Structure 1
Amino acid sequence: MTKVDGVGSRLPSKSFESTVIVPLNNRWLMIVYILQHVSECEDREDVKIVGIYSAAELANEAALNFSMVPGFKDFPQGFSVDPYELDRTFWKDGF
C-alpha cells in the first residue's frame, strides 16, 4: 500500500522502481518526477526543465550527471526533483 498526497486514503498500488501508480476513479494515477535547474543571472532567475523521469532515483542520478556539465556545474545547488501527477491541471487560479 502506498499513500499518495492528495488522494486522501491508502490504496493498493503497482510500483515500477519508485514510480507510483494507483487506481483512482476508474483510471490509473501516475506520478512522474521533473528535474529542474534554477540559476540566477543578473536580476532574473533562469529555470530549465532538464528532464521528466518515471522514478525519483533516475531524476536524482540525472541531476548528479548534469552537475558536471558546463553551465550546470556553475550552479550545482540549482537542481530540484519534484513529483507531479499526470493528467492534472496546475495553476488553476493563476499566479
Structure 2
Amino acid sequence: MMDYFIYSLEHIYTDETHRDCKFLGYFDDSEEMEKAKQRLLLLPGFSEYPNDFYIKKYELNKVYWQNGFTEVVGEIGRDYLPEEDLVPDYNQTIKKLNLKTVFKISHTYTIHTFLDDEREIGVFSDEKMANDVVDFLKQKEGFNHCPEGFIIDEILLNDQQCTSGFG
C-alpha cells in the first residue's frame, strides 16, 4: 500500500507582545497551496509578515502524538514534531486519492483556568478512522484522565481557512 502525505499551510509570527499561529488549510497540491498563499499576502497582517508562512507535510493516517499529557513540551499550546517524524521521500501527495475533505484530530488539555495546551494528533482520510484513533487513544495513559478533550474537525481540502487577515 502506498503512503500519502498532505500539505499544511500555517502562518506563525512574533511581534513585540506575543507569538501567534494561524492554521491556513490543508492542500493536496503544492500549486493550490501557493495560490492560497498569494491571496493571503494581499490581506492585512499577512502582508506585513510575508516571510512567516510555513509549509509542513503530514503523513496521512499517522498518529503523531501518542503520549497524552504526561508532560508539557515546547512552547505551551504548540507542538513541535521530532525530526524523525518528517515525511519520507517515497510518500506521494494525496491528490490521486481524490479526497474532498480530511479529518484532523487534536486534543486540548486545560493546564489552568486561562491556559490550554493543544496537541495535534494527526490527519486522517475518513471519519471512521479518526473516531477509531480517538477511541484507542482515550484508553492510553496521559489521555485517559481527559477523554473529553479530543476534537475531530472535518476540513475541506484546498480551502483557504482564513479570509480576513489580522492585526
TM-score (norm 2): 0.38
Paired residue for 2:162?
91
Paired residue for 1:33?
103
Which of 47, 60, 63 is the equivalent residue of 2:118? 47
**1:57 and 2:128 aligned:** yes
Please give the root-mean-square deviation of Cα atoms over the aligned residues, in Å. 1.7
Aligned length: 68
Gaps of at least 5 residues in structure 2 are 1-97
**Aligned pair in 2 of structure 1 residues 93, 55: CA closer, same or farther (>3 Å)?**
same
One-letter code aligned to 1:53: F
One-letter code aligned to 1:40: T
**Aligned pair in 2 of structure 1 residues 55, 67: CA closer, same or farther (>3 Å)?**
same
One-letter code aligned to 1:50: I
Gaps of at least 5 residues in structure 1 are 1-27
Deviation, 1:94, is 4.0
Using the aligned pairs only, state the percent identity. 25
Contact 1:29–1:85 (CA under 8 A) maintained in structure 2: no
Which structure would you say has the larger RCO, counting Cα contacts within 8 Å and 6 or more residues apart?
2
Separation in 1, partners of 2:164, 2:141: 37
Deviation, 1:44, is 0.5
Separation in 2, partners of 1:76, 1:29: 29
Q: Where in structure 1 do 4 or more consecutive aligned residues deviate above 4 Å?
A: none
One-letter code aligned to 1:41: I
